[in-house]
Structure 1
């Protein structure tokens, strides 16, 4: 049994998916059964996708909270502490509760599995299900960790599923084509459960629509069933129009910047409209508007003083969205990129996109076993003004100190990198 949160989290961070050899989801279901199947006590919305899951969850949470509901949200990764992954109305799980639920799991693993623990993500998923069920949340918003079909969260039957976007990521696990990745993400589609889709890639969309048809699930696709039109983007707020067959809402104000965030917001609006039609919620247009004005997401086009932007664009699709947002919010500026990432991503395409608009490129790395070395990242860049340094604090400080009046320092890449820089910047600003 664990007696302190530090001992507990230190231990679970050692649990690696690669060390786990059992059939996917079998152990999850067995342990959940021994815990009383808490996942079956929840009304859930299940989200998969390469980008946009966290932002979409955040909009859904704001809408439901504004309407008076008690909302659990399960997101990843965390920026500072693992408790961030599971919140109720924005408040993190307490250390005491985390320990309690972890010890419930530990007693089962020791008694029935000879102490052979599942992966880190499966453990935190088991903690989350217990927490949300015992706290009797009205709704639980649950992000997949990796893929969907074999993901630890895929033991639920949600009220609605959402697939945000598809890009080539984690190809060693999910496949090396859009169709293969889409098939894995589409694994969250359940028999007869509507799925809201923001995917634009035709190859991926064909797979998702085929799976939905096979499972008799209504498939509501952005640009087909529902539509959005961006109107204008300011530094503080942007506005857009939304419509589907039943609803039309104009001049919606959205705090989160970028056209991709309008797409994410539209997925949330559509999901809420489905729940309202099904009789699960009561939600006014005013509540919806207020929520969209408030919703923001740390590390996603997060603006700091002194013209610094943090964005966890960890694949080429995210990088393209970041660049579009930069050019809309900060036209006529110079963009000085600082990039660090893990080794399982499509760096060449992301770096090529940044090279195309950057005034300078800087590469660094973080202290994780699967971090891509700064030098190797730099080798992928063709920019005339590039540098690399394995010490991320040194390179971030150097770029900030040397920036000009019209320079925007854009710190991007892995969310783990963003988390470290974000905490450092907050301390530096004090």
Structure 2
């Protein structure tokens, strides 16, 4: 397909980014806000012809692991010859990354074409159903519609659809999925979802649809009880990791001289998947593999034409590359980039660095967002690191000031933190300070991970970055 004129592409991006974008501004304080309703989203899709109704959807929610699990589901389907879409957020470098078909992101030409289909309809919905407070439809609502329309247009047979935030009031929760999935429950977005694990679980269980099967990878009595209660009220048959799905994870045998993902063996109520090399390291990713494979089995039970070839699916999962998730981008010293941004994901990262990476001196490059638990993340990470560099991402206004991070490190008894103004200079400083052998880990935010990854890999010409609005 012919590439669009640069001005046309930029104009469509600007039109999208001009919309209210909670990824840049932070979410409203309450999930009951008038901004988080589904009526206009349903009207938008109806005017687009309800493209979601042509798709078999695996709808994936969870505090952590939902993106990785969605990507594994899509990779397994594609490897089995089933044309599969993948919708995730946020993107790292280009907006088109959010919309993948068989592992390839949407082309710029397709993005322009879908914007030209969707944005005029967005404006017509806004005109016919104006918001009482004058707010237009959001960036995420528009991009969700673009994704669903694109997958229908190109003939996807199945789609792995990642929830943006929460579940009950998320813009993706207008679909009728073949399978609903909840990967995990931990504390994040507590202002919007609630201060207890049970409340958070109920919000995420809002994606469960009457009579639709669900796969649940959640640990803990409180969140599991809440999910089971919602499932019973909606007559949803659920399969849980534990009673219905088992997995055994074998981390690499110490001493580990280079990063290794280990091996996981998964058995569901339907089949024994045998040994699989996870695409990402860590016990939590082995659990995500189990959830993904169970989701595929549940999907096959709802639609036998979507049953995957186990060998091909396993190869698809193992071969998946999922950037900025414990991603190794350099050696001598090892450079690891991870988008961990809450306490649970920081704890998982810490465990992975202990079990799957060499035991060498480590330098932490850390930056996070204002609405995240700064002290909680640092408590999980600091015991592993000999040096710390505090920094911030620069292309989003939600970043915590690096000096505040350095103060928090000191208050928690960490090593004196060097302050660096941006991810590129922080990465340079970390490499200078790190011995060989050594390890540098950049984490605290997916936004930080994206900018550090661009610097580490020398990426340029990533025009999907929004222009800062002051």
Q: TM-score range by the shorter chain?
A: over 0.9
Contact 1:338 1:361 in 2 (8 A): yes
Secondary structure of the corresponding residue to residue 416 of structure 1: helix
What is the deviation of 1:288? 2.7
Comparing 273-282 with 224-233, greater Cα deviation is found at 273-282
1:253 to 277, 281, 286: 277
Moved over 4 A (4+): 17-23
Matches of 1:329 and 1:112, distance apart in 2: 50
Instruction: Indicate the residue corresponding to 1:108 in structure 2.
Output: 121
Instruction: Indicate the residue corresponding to 1:24 in structure 2.
Output: 37
Q: Deviations over 1:308-349 (max 9, x none)?
A: 111111111111111111111224222211111111112211
Q: Deviations over 1:142-162 (max 9, x none)?
A: 001111100000001111111
Cα distance change, pair 22–326 in 1 and its aligned pair in 2 (3 A): closer
Cα distance change, pair 66–43 in 1 and its aligned pair in 2 (3 A): same
Matched, 1:276 2:300: yes
2:66 to 30, 50, 53: 53
Matched, 1:301 2:326: yes
Matches of 1:65 and 1:109, distance apart in 2: 31
Instruction: Indicate the residue corresponding to 1:414 in structure 2.
Output: 445
Secondary structure of the corresponding residue to residue 309 of structure 1: strand
Cα distance change, pair 391–93 in 1 and its aligned pair in 2 (3 A): closer
Cα distance change, pair 222–78 in 1 and its aligned pair in 2 (3 A): same
Contact 2:406 2:416 in 1 (8 A): no
Instruction: Indicate the residue corresponding to 1:187 in structure 2.
Output: 206
Contact 1:373 1:390 in 2 (8 A): no
What is the deviation of 1:139? 0.3
Matches of 2:207 and 2:321, distance apart in 1: 26
Matches of 1:239 and 1:154, distance apart in 2: 34
**What residue ranges of structure 1 are gaps of 5+ in the alignment?**
none
Secondary structure of the corresponding residue to residue 241 of structure 1: strand
Instruction: Give the TM-score normalised by the residue count of structure 2.
Output: 0.86
Cα distance change, pair 94–332 in 1 and its aligned pair in 2 (3 A): closer
Matched, 1:328 2:355: yes
Cα distance change, pair 269–110 in 1 and its aligned pair in 2 (3 A): closer
- Taking the TM superposition and a 5 Å limit, the aligned residue runs for 1:156-235 are 156-233=175-252, 235=259
Contact 2:260 2:357 in 1 (8 A): no
What is the deviation of 1:13? 1.6
What is the deviation of 1:112? 4.5
Report the count of equivalent residues: 428
Instruction: Give the TM-score normalised by the residue count of structure 1.
Output: 0.94
Q: Deviations over 1:188-220 (max 9, x none)?
A: 011111111111132211111111111111121
Comparing 156-165 with 281-290, greater Cα deviation is found at 281-290
Q: Deviations over 1:276-305 (max 9, x none)?
A: 233142322211321232122100110122
